[in-house]
């Protein structure tokens, strides 16, 4: 056990060293292009969102299929700010898409995004409030499991359709783009890009540590208890609704942070980022990396996105086949994801024992019947 | 009076599962409820702990009406339930199971910033010793045997420190030795708490029935009396024999 | 019928009038001709001839010049003459010229009508001079020819523009019935700019829809000219009873006109009001019908989903792709019938496609069950991800095989619709889908509640282990159920080809809605699925009538979420202890 722990610590250290030192150093030495750096910066954003999904799905067992929507809420908040700044820089009063849509003055909900700090706060607050409202109604009526998945999926679809419309005054299908500066810094300057990379990586580390704390606390234990045996948690006098709401909102905020960091790096946010597919794919990152483990979520998000960039540049037609196959194989054979697979390779023997215990746990987990005629 | 039930009824899809005119429990009383399968025993407990809402009737617990309350509110008032199928947190260790159960502030923020104290640890260890789980404290609860899970669940319920414990078939899946130990545990609990036990095993009932035994048949209270009275009552024997469930005969 | 006869005598006078107009035009023609030096040399002899004989012959001459001009200028001249002369017999010809659909067929001037459904590249042919006449083949059936069999006669744009002032009249003589109907309606609305031409056109009108529009226009024209209140009232009643498309507009505009008797105007407004409320009802029925038809498709898709989920606890995200497979099977059947079996009749392929799509999608479902889903029983959330992956693979496979967009042609027997009243047309294809759903639902009920297999399916649904203990081969039951469930989706896909295109991701459009239907209905409940499917279908369409489609969808979703607050287990939840598991 001790050995496993120290090797895992070593791996974490190597991971941090590689991304915090080696990759930027490679860039300054001219080996790694600034685009690659920026690409990784975006992957870190996905990894932050994946951490939230792992909290909600991996630890609490709530399959939320609208995380991409929260991601986009954060993204749109930041995008609105960036667009307003870019518009002001060009000496215009309204963003170009509004002019095309015959909007004569800035809609009221755009007003707060003029300032950077309000925009920053709103990109956390908006996903939080939306998640709170959705979560309150869903959890209060004790919608869970499959019902939860389907309802949130339908919600994501409805919101996606809503954002596609021009009437929502958020750019419609084209989304928000043509950003110029952030806090007066040129978004296209290599230095700023590397800076954003560091911000994203720092945020990822911070999010990981925070999630680690949450998961390790009694709160985290209760989340797992809810996943395994929700009724018992209620009979033990914990208000399940509050706990579920708390973790759902936390995950939404993480997704919002991720979206907020993502937008300045890509320079565009469209409704396409929040369609049904996007949310399922986010779940897949977590499943692929190893559900119920924070590192798994990060590794999954990075791995799938690397693979995506790799495959789409080599054989774009085949990517969906590969992704589909990954879904099936992961669910069928690598229930514990990539991390589980690693352990299987390195510690086959040790795992066997643990497996048998887990199996036992599972077989008991299945049949909760509190009463029998 | 710890618990008072009046005219309690619930039906599932046309079947009258429970139709109880009156039931009451004194403080620190241990009551055993017996009855053939389908008599409505578990349904009765389900209503008491808020899992099922009754069609009509009132339940008063310590002068609070608890009909219409959620299971959390009822648990907060001080009713703990052990289910027929042991319901523990299989993914957590036995120790964590007990920590979660113990009486304390249970809102989100308290849980988030909960700090383990030595005193608290001792409390958990003491309980683990009482139910014989002190050697498996770091094992996941899902890996326990059926009997150990029963005890863990009893420990969970007791750690909540409720005034009323609802114990549904505690001896199922236990050896004779274990059953006896469970009986002793329950008798010990009854010194501080009100306890209602549902049981089929008549040896066990004999062991723990120190005051009254209630017999439920077809959702109605057939009779109440001491273990001897109940055992010798012809109606009780008939309804057990009539169902070819002659457990009473064995005693 | 009575009404048309009353039109006739007037038409005679129109003809006479037209003749005299022509005489004048010819005189003018002679004058202008002098200006055209080039033409003069050629047509002096013909000119003498044409002046002497009837105007008909000069028209024929110009038509010949349009058809076979020695040089482009000559065609321009001839068209100018015809535009000035306005010989009624040449109207169809000129209509063909102005719409660039004039052709030569064995030396005769012809044009093409609108092609009927199911006849892809062949058009009915009309001879255009003198008057309009549909050509028949040797068996007396309407002659159908592809465009390649015709020799186009193309007038240049400036040449056609010469006819522009006549467009309103010429459209009434088009070979396209729809165009004629529109032209009539315009006449009615504008108030008789070309009343005579309208009368003339109506004399030969055969198309029922065009005739309706034409008669309405006729009434409108007469109403405009009505002098006393009594006559106006009579015409208002005629308009009201005729119940045409523009009746309310005509009545309202007329009532606004200055000089209209006040009482008659009030009457017109009152009748317009009555018509409006009548239309509103028709519109409501139409919406309801669209809702039922959307609901039927949802039911077809959701039924399979519901029984599979109930039986195996599988959230099959690839269910929509079985719909897609069914649609592509239909497409393949069409290719097979038209290209390999050389069956030209567009009905047969569809009849064959119904069972074929059921079986193909069913087999695909069976394969999927064997390969993947078997390992995921009672793990709904995992199955959701795995089947999502399968759906990605299937969609991409379909895209690779068939490309981005294909369409299946509508079988002839399902073209058009059932005209219940003039303002309520129920399309046959949608009626067919509703009928298909009813048949499927009855068959499924029969299977589930009247057959041994159905009993086994229900047994496994309720308690898999117990059913297995009783000697039911649960694996076989699973396989059969999956076959049926997927097959139903395939059938839905086949039906979908009647109302939309066939695209690789067509299943995705319906999958979320279908899941909502299953959830709202109560999992595994057929009755709930049917009720929820109909409910969601109808609500969607009704809301769409008030809001835009997107907002309708958002509202539906909010409605469902509110509904779930009160009935978290759907419309028809299990009661009692079964529900707890």
The answer to whether residue A284 is domain-embedded is no
- Which pLDDT belongs to residue A69? 94
Give the highest mean pLDDT range of A302-306, B234-238, C54-58, C282-286.
A302-306
C551: nearest CA in chain A?
A162
How confident is the model over C184-209, as a mean pLDDT? Answer: 72
Confidence of residue C360 (pLDDT cuts 50, 70, 90): very high
Q: CA A224 to CA A59: how far, in whole Å?
A: 5
Which chain B residues are Cβ-neighbours of A291 within 8 angstroms? Answer: none
CB distance C400–A162 less than 8 Å? no
Choose between C344 and C119: higher pLDDT: C344
Q: List the beta strands (DSSP E) in C522-562.
A: none
Neighbours of chain C (3+ CB pairs under 8 A): A, B
- Band (pLDDT 50/70/90 cuts) for residue C510 is confident
Element of type H or E holding A26? helix A23-28
Q: Of C497, C410, C406, nearest to C120 (Cα)?
A: C410
Q: Is residue A105 part of a domain?
A: yes
Dump pLDDT digits (tens) for A287-340: 888 888 888 899 999 999 988 888 888 887 788 888 888 888 888 887 777 887
Residues B168, B35: contact at Cβ < 8 Å? no
- CA C121 vs. chain centroid, Å, equals 18
**pLDDT given at position C36:** 47
| DSSP letter (8 states) at residue C581 | -
pLDDT (mean) for C209-222: 78
Peptide bond into A140 cis (omega under 30): no
> Structurally, how many domains does chain A consist of?
2
Higher-confidence residue: A364 or A79? Answer: A79
With beta carbons under 8 A apart, name residues in chain C contacting A60: none
Residue of A158, A281, A312, A336 to mutate, interface with C, max C Cβ within 10 Å: A158
Closest residue of chain A to B73, computed from CA coordinates? A237
CB contact under 8 Å between B13 and C577, yes or no, is no
Mutation test of the interface with chain B: which of A226, A359, A370, A372, choosing the one with the most B Cβ atoms within 10 A?
A370
Backbone angles phi, psi at A292, to 5 degrees: 80, 10
DSSP E strands: which ranges in C72-137? 102-105, 108-112, 122-127, 133-134
Note whether A328 contacts B: Cβ–Cβ < 8 A: no
Count of CB pairs separated by less than 8 Å, A with B: 127
Band of residue A369 on the pLDDT scale cut at 50, 70, 90: very low
DSSP C475: H
Distances, alpha carbon A220 to alpha carbons A213, B100, B114, B139, in Å: 8, 11, 11, 18
**Residues A91, A3 share a domain:** no
- The per-residue pLDDT for range C247-295, each reduced to its tens digit, is 777 777 777 777 777 777 778 788 888 888 888 888 888 888 888 888 8
**Which residues of chain C have a CB within 8 Å of the CB of B17?**
576
Contact B13 C575 (CB under 8 A): yes
Among chain C residues, the shortest Cα distance to A288 is held by C385
Q: Which residues in chain A have Cβ-Cβ distances shorter than 8 Å to C403? A: none
CA nearest A64: which of A73, A76, A54, A74?
A: A54
Find which of B10, B12, B18 to mutate to test the C interface (most C CBs within 10 Å of its CB): B12
Kindly report, residue by residue over B105-149, the tens digit of the pLDDT.
888 888 888 888 888 888 888 888 888 888 888 888 888 888 888
User: What percent of chain A has pLDDT above 90?
Assistant: 27
Q: Which is nearest to C207 in space by CA: C138, C124, C281?
A: C124
Mean pLDDT of A279-287: 89
Between C250 and C497, the more confident residue is C497
Among the listed ranges B19-28, B172-181, C334-343, C415-424, which one has the minimum average pLDDT value?
A: C415-424
Backbone angles phi, psi at C180, to 5 degrees: -60, -45
Does the CB of A152 have a partner CB in chain C at under 8 Å? no
pLDDT, mean of residues B90-109: 85
**Exposure of A280 in the CB half-sphere (CA atoms within 13 A):** 25
**Cβ–Cβ under 8 Å, residues C307 and C485:** yes
In this structure, the answer to whether residues A129 and A58 fall within a common structural domain is yes
Residues A104 and A133 in one domain: yes
Q: Of the given ranges (B198-207, C166-175, C398-407, C447-456), which has the lowest mean pLDDT?
A: C166-175
pLDDT at residue C9 above 50?
A: no
pLDDT band at C52 (very low <50, low <70, confident <90, very high): very low
Residue of C nearest to A366 (CA): C378
Q: What is the pLDDT of residue A128?
A: 95
Mean pLDDT, residues A191-195 taken together? 87
* CATH 1.10.3470 is right for the domain spanning C281-412+435-580: yes
Query: So what's the pLDDT on residue A50?
Result: 94
The answer to whether residues A73 and A168 belong to one domain is yes
Q: Report yes or no: C113 and C78 within 8 Å, Cβ to Cβ.
A: no
Percent over 70 (pLDDT), chain C: 85
Residue pairs spanning A and C at CB distance below 8 A: 123
Asked whether the predicted pLDDT for residue B251 surpasses 60, the reply is no
Of A279, A309, A341, which residue constitutes the final position of a domain? A279
Nearest Cβ partner for A217 among B81, B101, B114: B114
Strand C424-427, strand C417-421: pairing: antiparallel
Q: pLDDT tens-digit profile of C430-465?
A: 889 999 999 999 999 898 888 888 888 888 888 888
Query: For the segment A325-359, what is each residue's pLDDT rounded down to a tens digit?
Result: 888 888 888 777 788 777 777 776 555 556 666 66
A1: contact with B, CB 8 A cutoff: no
Q: Model pTM?
A: 0.77
**Domain annotation covers residue A317:** no
Q: Which residue ranges make up each domain of chain C?
A: 2-249, 281-412+435-580
Q: C560 and A63: CB-CB below 8 Å?
A: no
Average pLDDT rounded to a whole number, residues C69-78:
80
Flag whether A268 is in a domain: yes
pLDDT level of residue C51 (50, 70, 90 thresholds) = very low
Per-residue model confidence (pLDDT) at position A359: 66
Tokens 């895992």 map to which residue?
Answer: A8
> Which member of C553, C554, C568 has the closest CB to residue A142?
C568
Provide the mean pLDDT of chain C.
Answer: 77
Comparing alpha-carbon positions, the chain C residue that sits nearest to B46 is C577
Say yes or no to pLDDT of A3 above 60: no
Residue in chain C closest to B51 (alpha carbons) equals C580
Which has more confidence, C64 or A350? C64
CA distance to partner chain C, nearest, from residue A151 (Å): 7
- In this structure, the answer to whether residues A140 and A117 fall within a common structural domain is yes
Q: Using pLDDT thresholds of 50, 70 and 90, give the confidence band for residue C328.
A: very high
User: What average pLDDT does the segment C374-397 reach?
Assistant: 85
CA distance B87 to chain C (A): 13
pLDDT at C221 exceeding the cut of 70: yes
Task: Enumerate the residues of chain B whose CB falls inside 8 A of the CB of residue A233.
Answer: 89, 100
Select, from the ranges B245-249, C222-226, C367-371, the one with the highest average predicted confidence (pLDDT).
C367-371
Does the distance separating the beta carbons of A154 and C560 come in below 8 Å?
yes
Q: What is the mean pLDDT of residues B81-96?
A: 86
In the predicted model, what is the mean pLDDT of chain B?
Answer: 83
Using the beta-carbon criterion (under 8 Å), do A328 and C372 form an inter-chain contact?
yes
C264: closest CA among C235, C221, C240? Answer: C235
Higher pLDDT, C310 or B47: B47
Q: Is A221–B100 a contact, with Cβ atoms under 8 angstroms apart?
A: yes
B15 touches chain C (CB under 8 A): yes
pLDDT score of C1 more than 70: no
Tell me if A89 sits within 8 A of A184, measured CB to CB: no
Tell me whether residue A98 is in a domain: yes
Tell me the pLDDT band of A5, cut-offs 50, 70 and 90: low
Residues 78-137 of chain A whose Cβ lies under 8 A from any Cβ of chain C? 137
What pLDDT score does A357 carry? 64
Q: Is residue A149 part of a domain?
A: yes
pLDDT band at C43 (very low <50, low <70, confident <90, very high): very low
pLDDT at C44: 44
Q: Are residues A13 and A100 in the same domain?
A: no
Chain B residues whose CB is inside 8 A of the C575 CB are 12-13
Distances (CA, A) of A288 to A11, A63, A330, C381: 19, 15, 6, 14
- CA gap C240, C229 in Å, rounded: 16
Lowest-confidence segment of A208-212, C166-170, C490-494 by average pLDDT: C166-170
Fold adopted by B3-250: Rossmann fold (3.40.50)
Mean pLDDT over all residues of chain A? Answer: 84
Question: pLDDT at residue C573 above 60?
Answer: yes
Local structure of B16: helix, strand or coil: strand
ipTM: 0.85
d(CA A360, CA A353) in angstroms, rounded, equals: 11
pLDDT on residue A137: 87
Domain extent at residue A140: 33-279
């Amino acid at each position: 056990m001790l050995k496993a722990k120290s090797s895992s610590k070593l791996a974490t250290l190597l991971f941090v060293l590689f991304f915090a030192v080696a990759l930027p150093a490679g860039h300054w030495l001219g080996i790694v292009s600034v685009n690659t750096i920026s690409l990784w910066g975006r992957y870190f954003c996905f990894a932050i969102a994946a951490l939230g999904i792992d909290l909600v799905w991996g630890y609490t067992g709530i399959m939320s299929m609208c995380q991409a929507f929260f991601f986009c809420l954060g993204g749109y908040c930041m995008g609105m700010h960036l667009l307003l700044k870019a518009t002001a820089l060009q000496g215009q009063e309204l963003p170009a898409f509004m002019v095309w849509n015959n909007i004569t003055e800035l809609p009221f909900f755009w007003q707060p995004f003029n300032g950077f700090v309000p925009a920053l706060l709103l990109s956390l607050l908006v996903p939080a409030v939306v998640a709170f409202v959705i979560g309150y109604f869903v959890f209060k009526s004790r919608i869970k499991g499959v019902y939860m998945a389907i309802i949130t999926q339908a919600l994501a679809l409805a919101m996606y359709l809503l954002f596609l419309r021009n009437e929502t005054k958020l750019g419609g299908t084209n989304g928000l783009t043509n950003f110029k500066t952030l806090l007066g810094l040129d978004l296209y300057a290599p230095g700023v890009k590397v800076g954003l990379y560091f911000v994203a990586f720092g945020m990822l580390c911070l999010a990981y540590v925070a999630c680690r704390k949450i998961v390790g606390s009694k709160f985290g234990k209760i989340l797992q208890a809810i996943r395994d045996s929700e009724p018992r948690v209620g009979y033990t006098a914990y208000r399940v609704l509050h706990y579920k709401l708390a973790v759902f909102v936390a995950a939404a905020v993480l997704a919002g942070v991720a979206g907020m960091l993502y937008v300045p790096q890509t320079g565009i946010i469209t409704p396409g980022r929040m369609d049904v597919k996007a949310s399922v794919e986010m779940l897949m990152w977590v499943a692929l990396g190893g559900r119920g483990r924070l590192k798994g979520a990060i590794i999954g998000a990075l791995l799938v996105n690397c693979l995506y960039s790799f495959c789409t540049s080599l054989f774009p037609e085949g990517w969906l086949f590969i992704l589909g196959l990954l879904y099936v194989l992961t669910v069928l054979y690598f229930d514990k994801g990539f991390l589980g697979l690693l352990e299987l390779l390195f510690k086959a023997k040790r795992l066997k024992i643990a497996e048998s215990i887990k199996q036992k746990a599972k077989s008991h987990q299945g049949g909760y019947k509190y009463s029998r005629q | 009076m710890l618990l008072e039930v009046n005219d309690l009824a619930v039906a599932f899809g046309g079947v009258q599962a429970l139709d109880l005119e009156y039931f009451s429990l004194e403080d620190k009383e241990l009551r055993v409820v017996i009855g053939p399968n389908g008599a409505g025993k578990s349904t009765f407990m389900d209503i008491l702990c808020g899992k099922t809402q009754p069609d009509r009737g009132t339940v008063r617990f310590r002068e609070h009406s608890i009909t219409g309350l959620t299971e959390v509110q009822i648990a907060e008032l001080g009713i703990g339930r052990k289910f027929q199928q042991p319901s523990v947190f299989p993914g957590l260790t036995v120790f964590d199971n007990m920590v979660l159960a113990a009486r304390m502030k249970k809102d989100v923020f308290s849980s988030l910033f909960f700090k383990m104290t030595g005193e608290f640890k001792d409390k958990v260890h003491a309980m683990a010793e009482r139910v014989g789980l002190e050697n498996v404290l770091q094992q996941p609860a899902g890996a326990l045997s059926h009997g150990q899970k029963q005890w863990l669940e009893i420990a969970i319920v007791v750690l909540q420190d409720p005034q009323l414990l609802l114990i549904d078939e505690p001896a199922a899946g236990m050896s004779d030795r274990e059953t006896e130990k469970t009986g002793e545990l329950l008798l010990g609990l009854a010194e501080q708490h009100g306890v209602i036990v549902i049981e089929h095993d008549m040896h066990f009932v004999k062991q723990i029935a120190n005051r009254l035994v209630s017999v439920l048949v077809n959702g109605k209270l057939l009779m109440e009396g001491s273990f001897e009275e109940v055992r010798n009552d012809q109606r009780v024997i008939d309804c057990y024999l009539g169902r070819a469930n002659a457990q009473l005969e064995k005693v | 019928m009575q009404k048309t006869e009353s039109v006739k005598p007037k038409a005679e006078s129109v003809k006479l009038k037209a003749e005299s107009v022509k005489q004048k035009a010819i005189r003018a023609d002679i004058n202008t001709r002098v200006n055209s030096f080039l033409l003069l040399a050629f047509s002096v002899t013909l000119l003498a001839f044409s002046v002497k004989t009837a105007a008909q012959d000069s028209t024929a001459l110009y038509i010949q010049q349009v058809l076979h001009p020695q040089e482009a200028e000559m065609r321009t001249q001839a068209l100018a003459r015809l535009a000035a002369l306005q010989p009624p017999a040449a109207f169809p010809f000129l209509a063909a010229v102005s719409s660039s659909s004039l052709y030569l067929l064995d030396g005769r001037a012809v044009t093409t009508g609108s092609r009927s459904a199911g006849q892809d590249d062949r058009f009915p042919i009309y001879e255009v001079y003198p008057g309009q006449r549909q050509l028949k083949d040797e068996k007396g059936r309407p002659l159908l020819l592809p465009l390649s069999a015709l020799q186009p006669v193309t007038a240049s744009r400036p040449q056609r523009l010469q006819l522009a002032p006549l467009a309103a009249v010429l459209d009434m003589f088009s070979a396209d019935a729809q165009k004629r109907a529109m032209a009539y309606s315009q006449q009615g609305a504008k108030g008789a700019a070309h009343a005579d031409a309208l009368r003339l056109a109506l004399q030969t009108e055969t198309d029922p829809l065009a005739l309706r529009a034409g008669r309405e226009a006729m009434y409108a024209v007469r109403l405009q000219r009505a002098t006393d209140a009594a006559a106006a009232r009579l015409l208002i009643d005629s308009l009201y009873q005729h119940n045409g498309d523009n009746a309310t507009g005509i009545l309202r505009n007329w009532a606004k006109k200055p000089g209209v008797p006040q009482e008659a105007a009030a009457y017109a407004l009152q009748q317009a009001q009555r018509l409006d409320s009548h239309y509103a009802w028709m519109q409501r029925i139409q919406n309801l019908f669209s809702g039922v038809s959307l609901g039927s498709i949802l039911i077809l898709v959701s039924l399979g989903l519901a029984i599979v989920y109930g039986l195996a606890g599988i959230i099959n995200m690839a269910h929509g792709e079985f719909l897609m497979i069914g649609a592509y099977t239909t497409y393949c059947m069409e290719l097979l019938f038209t290209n390999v079996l050389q069956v030209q009749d567009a009905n047969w392929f569809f009849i064959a496609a119904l069972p074929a799509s059921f079986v193909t999608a069913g087999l695909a479902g069976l394969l999927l069950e064997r390969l993947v889903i078997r390992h995921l029983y009672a793990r709904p959330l995992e199955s959701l991800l795995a089947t999502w992956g399968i759906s990605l693979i299937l969609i991409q496979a379909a895209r690779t095989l068939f490309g981005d967009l294909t369409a299946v042609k509508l079988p002839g027997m399902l073209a058009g619709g059932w005209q219940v009243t003039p303002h309520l047309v129920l399309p046959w294809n949608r009626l067919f889908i509703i009928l298909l759903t009813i048949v499927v639902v009855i068959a499924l009920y029969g299977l589930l509640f009247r057959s041994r297999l159905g009993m086994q399916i229900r047994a496994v649904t309720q308690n898999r282990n117990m059913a297995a203990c009783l000697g039911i081969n649960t694996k076989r039951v699973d396989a059969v159920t999956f076959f049926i469930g997927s097959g139903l989706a395939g059938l839905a896909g086949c039906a979908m080809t009647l109302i939309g295109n066939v695209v690789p991701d067509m299943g995705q459009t319906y999958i979320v809605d279908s899941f909502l239907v299953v959830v709202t209905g109560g999992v595994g409940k057929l009755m709930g699925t049917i009720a929820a499917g109909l409910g969601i279908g109808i609500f969607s369409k009704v809301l769409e009538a008030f809001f835009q489609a997107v907002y309708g969808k958002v509202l539906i979703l909010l409605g469902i979420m509110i509904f779930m607050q009160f009935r978290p287990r759907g419309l028809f939840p299990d009661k009692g202890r079964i529900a707890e598991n």
